[in-house]
Structure 1
Amino acid sequence: MRIDLHTHSTASDGTDTPAELVRNAAAAGLDVVALTDHDTTRGHAEAAAALPEGLTLVTGAELSCRIEGVSLHMLAYLFDPDEPELLRERELVRDDRVPRARAMVAKLRELGVPVTWEQVARIAGDGSVGRPHIASALVDLGVVETVSDAFTREWLADGGRVFVPRHELDPFEAIRLVKAAGGVTVFAHPLAVKRGEVVPEEAVARLAAAGLDGIEADHMDHDAATRARLHGLAADLGLLATGSSDYHGSRKTCRLGEYTTDPEIYGEITRRATGAFPVPGAGGPRP
């Protein structure tokens, strides 16, 4: 059983529509895929409607958080999307994306980069605009070679020359809100050092004590030693250890199913969730 619990669609900063994403997940041989767009659940209905037979959809979102000045992402699974408190916080985060992106475009122009807001908005389309869309514009302009190359201190990384902060959740509050909505929380790519400063293990322990369910140990931004370290940390703290691709379509080099989650861990996630249930595919035959 192949399970990928972290993917993105055009509802945020991926390049596959939700329907394309689930079809591609089936073609990649996945049995379970989670759609975890940034701070939004807008792609869930389309993904569920197009879900091929034999593929199960886990609904979720990747919540933008910050602790002690360090940015982190919290994967939330199988929560009630209509729970009002969590919905209100997601909307606050999402609504802050446009003014933040405009401010970063302005900083780039001050540095002599001929990027325009119209270009970034066109790349984002109907998705929630974010740094990956600006990074794609920099690739199109030949400023950097890849989207990942834009996430450095020279450009878009936390604390970088054109970084602009935005509204982000306190992760302890995020855990509380997701649990109140019947969901399960997993700290995404916690030691992805190339993205910028990471949360210290002491803070991860405090998050675990506050009810964090798991950490994403197996991820393209973690080398073998880091993955082993995170599996050990999860065992020490009593956390679930997941694996995921963090697929963004053609925007990043990661492939669907590049890293996967153990079926027993997936089973525990579904047992803990009460806000929503995995959606079995019935939208047509697998590719």
Structure 2
Amino acid sequence: MRIDLHTHSTASDGTDTPAELVRNAAAAGLDVVALTDHDTTRGHAEAQAALPEGLTLVTGAELSCRIDGISMHMLAYLFDPAEPALLAERELVRDDRVPRARGMVAKLNELGVPVTWEQVARIAGDGSVGRPHVATALVELGVVPTVSDAFTPEWLADGGRAYVEKHETDPFEAIRLVKGAGGVTVFAHPGASKRGRTVPEAAIAEMAAAGLDGIEVDHMDHDEPTRARLRGLAKELGLLVTGSSDYHGSRKTCALGEYTTDPEVYGEITRRATGAFPVPGTGGF
């Protein structure tokens, strides 16, 4: 059973529509895929409507958080999307994305980069605008060769020359809100040091004590020593260990199913969730 618990669609900063994503997941031989767009559940209905036979959809979102000045992402699975408190927080984060992206465009202009808001808005389309859309504009202009190369201190990394802060949720509040909506929380790519400063292990321990369910260990931004360290930390703290592709379509080099989650861990996630249930495609699991 092949399970990928972290993917993105055009509802945020991926390049596959939700329908294309689930079809591509089935073609990649996945049995379970989670749609976890940034701070939004807008793609879930389309993904469910297009769900192929034999593929199960886990609904979720990747929540933008910040602790002690460090940006981090919290994967939330199988929560009730209509629960008012969590919905209000997601909307607050999402609504701040546009002024933040406009601010990054202004900073890039000051640095002599001829990017425009119209260009970024075109790239984002109907999705929730974010840094990857600005990064794609830099690729189009030939400023950087790849989207990943835009996430450096020279450009868009945390604290970088063109970086602009946005509203981000305190992770302890995120855990509380997701739990209140019947969901399960997993700290996404906690050792991704190439993206900027990482959250100290002591803070992860505090999150575990506050109800964090797991950490994403097997991820393209983690080298083998980092994975081994995080696996040991998860064991010490009693956290679930997940693996996922963090697929963004053509915007990143990772492939669907590049890293996967153990079926027993997936089963525990579904057992803990009370806000929603995995959605099987016709004839699926």
Query: TM-score if structure 2 supplies the norm length?
Result: 0.99
- Structure 1 alignment gaps of length 5 or more: none
Shift of 1:255: 0.4
Counterparts of 2:247 and 2:225 in 1: how far apart (Å)? 22
Q: Which runs of 4+ in 1 moved over 2 A?
A: none
Shift of 1:170: 0.4
- In structure 1, what is the equivalent of residue 125 of structure 2? 125
Counterparts of 1:266 and 1:153 in 2: how far apart (Å)? 36
Counterparts of 1:190 and 1:224 in 2: how far apart (Å)? 14
Letter in 2 for 1:179: K
Per-residue CA deviation, residues 86-145 of structure 1 (Å, 9 max, x unaligned), is 000000000000000000000000100000000000000000000000000000000000
- In structure 2, what is the equivalent of residue 157 of structure 1? 157
Letter in 2 for 1:180: G
- In structure 1, what is the equivalent of residue 136 of structure 2? 136
Shift of 1:168: 0.4
- In structure 1, what is the equivalent of residue 252 of structure 2? 252
Counterparts of 1:107 and 1:229 in 2: how far apart (Å)? 37
- In structure 1, what is the equivalent of residue 47 of structure 2? 47
- In structure 1, what is the equivalent of residue 18 of structure 2? 18
Letter in 1 for 2:193: V
| SS of equivalent to 2:61 | strand
Shift of 1:278: 0.0
Matched residue pairs, number? Answer: 284
Counterparts of 1:29 and 1:44 in 2: how far apart (Å)? 20
Match runs of 1:57-68 below 5 Å: 57-68=57-68
Q: Kindly report the root-mean-square deviation, in angstroms, between the aligned alpha carbons of the 2 structures.
A: 0.8
- In structure 2, what is the equivalent of residue 180 of structure 1? 180
Shift of 1:225: 1.0
| SS of equivalent to 2:119 | helix
Per-residue CA deviation, residues 149-194 of structure 1 (Å, 9 max, x unaligned), is 0000000000000100010000000000000000000000001000
Letter in 2 for 1:36: T
- Structure 2 alignment gaps of length 5 or more: none
Counterparts of 1:165 and 1:272 in 2: how far apart (Å)? 33
Per-residue CA deviation, residues 216-252 of structure 1 (Å, 9 max, x unaligned), is 0000000111111111110000000000000000000
| SS of equivalent to 2:57 | strand
Letter in 2 for 1:31: D
Counterparts of 1:213 and 1:67 in 2: how far apart (Å)? 18
| SS of equivalent to 1:88 | helix
Within the alignment, does 1:229 sit opposite 2:229 as a pair? yes
- In structure 2, what is the equivalent of residue 170 of structure 1? 170
Counterparts of 1:112 and 1:164 in 2: how far apart (Å)? 17
- In structure 1, what is the equivalent of residue 34 of structure 2? 34
Counterparts of 1:90 and 1:126 in 2: how far apart (Å)? 17
| SS of equivalent to 2:242 | strand
Counterparts of 1:98 and 1:66 in 2: how far apart (Å)? 18
Counterparts of 1:266 and 1:230 in 2: how far apart (Å)? 18
- In structure 1, what is the equivalent of residue 89 of structure 2? 89
Counterparts of 1:228 and 1:85 in 2: how far apart (Å)? 36
Counterparts of 1:61 and 1:224 in 2: how far apart (Å)? 26
Match runs of 1:235-274 below 5 Å: 235-274=235-274
Counterparts of 1:237 and 1:85 in 2: how far apart (Å)? 28
Counterparts of 2:193 and 2:67 in 1: how far apart (Å)? 16
Letter in 2 for 1:225: P
| SS of equivalent to 1:258 | coil
- In structure 2, what is the equivalent of residue 7 of structure 1? 7
Shift of 1:46: 0.2
Letter in 2 for 1:243: G
| SS of equivalent to 2:7 | coil
Counterparts of 1:229 and 1:27 in 2: how far apart (Å)? 33
Counterparts of 1:111 and 1:71 in 2: how far apart (Å)? 24
Counterparts of 1:130 and 1:39 in 2: how far apart (Å)? 11
Letter in 2 for 1:108: L
- In structure 1, what is the equivalent of residue 146 of structure 2? 146
